[in-house]
Amino acid sequence: MANFRIQRYDPEKDSRPYFQTYEVPVEQGMSILDCLFYIKERLDATLSFRASCRMGICGSCAMYINGLPRLACETQATSLATDTIEVRPLPNYEIIKDLVVDLSPLFEKHQRVRPWIIPYELEELDRPTKEYVQSPAELEKYLQFAYCLKCGLCLAACPTMATDNEFIGPQALAQAFRYNSDTRDGGDAERIAVVDTLHGLWRCHMAGACAEVCPKGVDPALAIQLMKREAVFGKKKERARLVDPRCGVTPLPGIPKAPEPTVKRSEGKR
């Protein structure tokens, strides 16, 4: 049996957050999210929290568990090695209710760095005609940063975010680096203009907390330092080659023919 000390707060009713304690029969294999579902289903249906995939993919259940920002679905209750488990909403965000926080600043800052491929040839963006060729080595340069879930744990852990709301934050900066390192992308100048600012790259104090808490092993602190170097010394970037898409490929023996598309493309439409 574990005591769950959970921070409760409903801005429409409560003047300030308070803690409520629940007893949960914790068993081997139960995640914190399982415990929260137990509380919601059997003890207190008014408890609010966000969750979706339950397997560390969606990043919805990010919370502040026993003093660290973590994903509730990836944190085993027994791994905390204590009978008292404190669950609070993520710091550095506004609370919507109980453990649900407002992630809009995260997404707004993420969007600000243009987290998509901006091709060199704009025609290819609107009407792609060819395929980009990228080597495994080129993929490796940004791959770890592409694992970002947008869970927001890094912003909750960042001490700079705690003092500077304007700071773009480790998540968005890491994504700026991820796209700037992509050989298919030609939007470096646009992103550098956004991040090479007083509240961008140069606001990072290199505490490294973002890298410590990332559930996917992304290292935003590394991305920020590498991008600082690029901002100062510039960067010579390889361009991915555009090649004609392969067509008329003969399938290997034994591979069945692909079924016909169920939706027919109408003439003239792409």
Partner 1 sequence: MRESRYWILSLGAAVCLVVLLGIHLSIMHLDTLLAYLGVVNADPLHYQAVMARGRSGGWVLAYILLLAFGLYHGLYGLRSVLSEVVSPTGQRLLTWAVVAVGFIAFTWGTYVVIKSSLMGGV
Burial string for 91-118 (b: 16+ CB within 10 Å, else e) reads ebbebbbbbbbebebbeebbebbbbeeb
Q: Does 199 bind partner 1 (CB under 8 A)?
A: yes
Q: Does 82 bind partner 1 (CB under 8 A)?
A: no
Minimal distance, residue 140 CB to partner 1, in Å? 26
> What CA–CA distances, in Å, run from 134 to 140, 247, 252?
10, 19, 24
Specify the stretch interacting with partner 1 by CB under 8 A; choose among 35-43, 53-61, 161-169, 170-178. Answer: 161-169
Nearer CB in complex with partner 1: 75/92: 92
Figure out which of the listed residues 201, 210, 213, 224 binds partner 1, where binding follows CB under 8 A: 201
Task: Choose among 37, 69, 73: nearest CA to 58.
Answer: 73
Q: Does 196 bind partner 1 (CB under 8 A)?
A: yes
Minimal distance, residue 172 CB to partner 1, in Å? 16
Question: Cα(207)–Cα(221) distance, rounded to whole angstroms?
Answer: 8
Nearer CB in complex with partner 1: 49/167: 167
Specify the stretch interacting with partner 1 by CB under 8 A; choose among 57-65, 160-168, 213-221, 245-253. Answer: 160-168
Minimal distance, residue 268 CB to partner 1, in Å? 46
Q: Does 173 bind partner 1 (CB under 8 A)?
A: no
Q: Does 146 bind partner 1 (CB under 8 A)?
A: no
Q: Does 104 bind partner 1 (CB under 8 A)?
A: no
Could you tell me if 211 and 153 are in contact, meaning their C-beta atoms sit under 8 angstroms apart? no
Question: Cα(105)–Cα(111) distance, rounded to whole angstroms?
Answer: 10
Residues 6+ apart with CB under 8 A from 270: 127
Task: Summarize as ranges the residues that interact with partner 1 (CB under 8 A).
Answer: 160, 163-166, 192-193, 196-203, 228, 231-232
